[in-house]
Structure 1
């Protein structure tokens, strides 16, 4: 009987760890998490060219089973930060030819748009027949966010070392970087499919990195957040035990995406720490999911407010027993709360809530075209249908109203033999660099003669400066300069 009892106890413990049937089907009563019809984790949010905020997530299985059962990536979008649309699975384990006897899983992804293509980066965790674990990063691409992606690089070179949690970042000068596990990073090639040169370790000013790297930029400063190493389970009687290393998200900041960075402290405390509102664990003063550990964060700015994406087991706790227990930490759900800063640029740690964020209302045009008749320049030629300029020429547009924010800029252009660029600045010729257009044959072919760039801090009433960067006397011919993605497009039903 003792053996039988031990087996039963083991099965009960396994269910608590890896998942239980979702017996409670009543509507989830709070605003966080934001997706409540399925389990989602590891959100990667980005503003896309349609002006909507999209996120790609990994998926935890509804019946549990742990991280090895993560077999899909889903896409969601919102136009107001409150109401989310599920666009379905964009990549899954069936897109791979998994050998018989092996167990493959897809973990935390990231996504980015560049010149007509959406690039999806995701880590594979493959258990081989001999029991060994193979980890690496793959790339998939699509011309739309709401349709299935095609794998274009099944295994990135240069990311062999513990390829986990890839995070992609394009700086305002047009250079793209990939960050991943062990605080490793590298510059991406222009086709966004490989690492250019050798990877290297980012100096982030500390020695507590575990996983979940994410880079964002604000006011010229670079912010790198990550999940810290932790030890020990959260004790119900003392969840804030000072002797236990916490499952925090820390951050470092500095003046270069390649480091060195200064470690600044916590950006997001453990899940459920000091959460405002919500249910309490029976006989305790904290929310039930305070006792779970899994932290993964991402940052995005949308019309004047920065948002922090993370995940908790709140939905799992509700589905299993209406908040009587902690839920399961491998059944996670994406939450969103505001991210704010002090005057010196340091981060105020995220205040986790069950309410979530307020609805965003956007009242402005989708695009703002810069009219040739309004252009001011000393050296560039303004023709009837186009601009003709060369290296260091400056074209100015006065009093351009960018409202609460425009997230992309584009021009149509004619091919040149020399690679050229157009810097998009505001305030002065040496003012804030919001983004950089690449003018070369690859972009011309890939995006039908249009060069586009993501923009940061393109808001308010400003003088706009287009600064031409080319070699020698090379002439750059372009037309139809336009800001766009200033308001979200409605979805076609």
Structure 2
């Protein structure tokens, strides 16, 4: 969810945005509650050369959305994205301009079907302990209850992860009074294994504050960014969830991501090391942990024989998209695999994004083919 005003790469916007206006009309959205943000408008302030058609079109255009966590619930695809807004805050490496305040929940019957916007599923004002910045969420279902996991800064401006519950996948969700004990940083992703155990993967560098937790507690004086020397990279965290899905069942541990020689990836290896946006899925008995490399703008993956690793780096899932951030989820539907992701086709601004979906293809050995947006 981070951006850098120094490294932002805006791909051609005008041609793609104008082409999109007709395309979005062919994939209409309906909305059960009134949207709280003005509909996106194309950025036409600068001329751009002709661009090739985008890989896919935005799923929804009445609001800006990002960080899509997709799940199959009740026979439908439910998507839990961030809801981007124009907050008027200058860009910085801490991501203060990502000042989101609520979540809209989306659903669709099929990959190419109509998208329904169910309106606000959770608002920051209804989270008792929240301060600001309601970033990328995820969801899960167990024992008749739907769980929405969310990162938000508390009133001391420290990111924690909370949980809210609902009896329906579309919400509304009611937040617990306190964050999950032992949680920190951003980007929760909950994976439910075939043996019934559930795990939460989380963490993000720079504005995600992961680098400030290396001493076991939040260190406000720690550097803003991760180490740049040849030391092992900081990695995502994983915690097994309790039966009630509201607590960690045991200590949180750091994931290990290794190179082909079995050595830890280094902090200087910015095209392979973990940055943010972790996601877990399972294919033919193997665990696939995928994530964003942040300032090098790749989606990559590593595999393991267990859900907690260690994981061995395998390759690139998706080359850089338009905009600075990249964040995804992966699901199987009707025998095919799909990746949900975002870019900035609608706005041309890296903090006003739009979610998309495209097919994920595999080689015969289970490896993932690289996608070029």
Common topology (TM > 0.5)? yes
Q: Tell me what 2:200 maps to.
A: 178
Residue from 234, 238, 241 that aligns with 1:188: 241
Looking at CA atoms only, which structure, 1 or 2, has the larger radius of gyration?
A: 1
Change (3 A) 1:62 1:85: farther
Separation (CA, whole Å) in 2 of partners of 1:42 and 1:62: 16
Change (3 A) 1:27 1:68: closer
Separation (CA, whole Å) in 2 of partners of 1:333 and 1:112: 23
Give the structure, 1 or 2, with the largest relative contact order (CA under 8 Å, sep 6 or more): 2
Separation (CA, whole Å) in 2 of partners of 1:41 and 1:153: 26
Residue from 334, 348, 373 that aligns with 2:369: 348
1:168 aligns to 2:218 (yes or no): no
Give SS of 2:249's match: strand
Q: Tell me what 2:275 maps to.
A: 210
Report Cα offsets for 1:339-369 as digits up to 9, x if no partner: 01001111101243xxxxxxxxxxxxxxxxx
Residue from 123, 139, 149 that aligns with 1:121: 149
Q: Tell me what 1:61 maps to.
A: 85
Separation (CA, whole Å) in 1 of partners of 2:119 and 2:300: 32
Residue from 206, 214, 224 that aligns with 2:289: 224
Please show how residues 63-462 of structure 1 align to structure 2 within 5 Å: 65=89, 67-82=97-112, 83-97=114-128, 104-126=132-154, 128=156, 133-152=157-176, 154-160=178-184, 163-181=185-203, 182-205=235-258, 206-207=265-266, 208-230=273-295, 246-271=296-321, 289=322, 292-316=323-347, 327-352=348-373
1:51 aligns to 2:75 (yes or no): yes
Separation (CA, whole Å) in 1 of partners of 2:352 and 2:294: 21
Report Cα offsets for 1:258-281 as digits up to 9, x if no partner: 11111011111110xxxxxxxxxx
Separation (CA, whole Å) in 1 of partners of 2:202 and 2:129: 24
For structure 1, the residue ranges without an aligned partner over 5 or more in a row are 1-12, 18-23, 231-245, 272-288, 317-326, 353-493
Structure 1 residue 158: Cα displacement: 1.8
Report Cα offsets for 1:280-324 as digits up to 9, x if no partner: xxxxxxxxx3xx2111011011111111011100011xxxxxxxx
Give SS of 1:257's match: coil
Separation (CA, whole Å) in 1 of partners of 2:103 and 2:294: 26
Structure 1 residue 29: Cα displacement: 3.3
Separation (CA, whole Å) in 1 of partners of 2:344 and 2:179: 32
Separation (CA, whole Å) in 1 of partners of 2:61 and 2:141: 27
Bigger strand share: 1
1:64–1:330 Cα contact (<8 Å) kept: no
Separation (CA, whole Å) in 2 of partners of 1:113 and 1:120: 9
Give SS of 1:29's match: helix
1:38 aligns to 2:31 (yes or no): no
2:294–2:325 Cα contact (<8 Å) kept: no
For structure 2, the residue ranges without an aligned partner over 5 or more in a row are 10-16, 24-55, 90-95, 204-234, 259-264, 267-272
Give SS of 1:217's match: strand
Q: How many residues align structurally?
A: 281
1:311–1:334 Cα contact (<8 Å) kept: yes
Q: Tell me the C-alpha RMSD between the 2 structures.
A: 2.6
Give SS of 2:309's match: coil
Separation (CA, whole Å) in 1 of partners of 2:284 and 2:177: 34
User: TM-score, normalization: structure 1?
Assistant: 0.54
Give SS of 1:94's match: helix
1:75–1:90 Cα contact (<8 Å) kept: yes
Change (3 A) 1:260 1:153: farther
2:294–2:326 Cα contact (<8 Å) kept: no
Give SS of 2:287's match: strand
User: TM-score, normalization: structure 2?
Assistant: 0.70
More displaced, 188-197 or 147-156? Answer: 147-156
Separation (CA, whole Å) in 2 of partners of 1:266 and 1:67: 28
